Amino acid sequence: MFPLLKQVCKDIFTGIDGRTYHMAKFSWAFCMLVISAVMVHRAWSGLEVDLMAAAGALVAIATGHSAAIYGMKSTEPTPPESNK
């Protein structure tokens, strides 16, 4: 199970070549994790959780990082040749 999980994480955080790590993807995951952790902490502490504000923050993070990932597309190494 752990080799499969390792491969899935590598596929998520690498570029098209499958070897070069993509910093925008790490930033995206970290930002999503922080916003989610803040929402959970506020709910756990008995504070108000504004779902509209949280959804807006998640959309802003997703949109900004999607643009960054797409913008870096031209700088990625070429994918390896497939074995056909």
- pLDDT at 68 (0 to 100): 82
**What is the percent of the chain where pLDDT is above 90?**
42
- pLDDT at 82 (0 to 100): 57
- Give the burial string for 11-50 (b: 16+ CB within 10 Å, else e): eebebeeeeeebebbeebeebeeebeeebeeeeeeeeeee
Q: Are 57 and 42 in contact (CB under 8 A)?
A: no
- pLDDT, one tens digit per residue, over 25-53 is 898 899 999 999 999 999 999 999 999 99
Q: How confident is the model at residue 23 (pLDDT cuts 50, 70, 90)?
A: confident
Task: Say how many C-beta atoms besides its own lie within 10 A of residue 4's C-beta.
Answer: 8
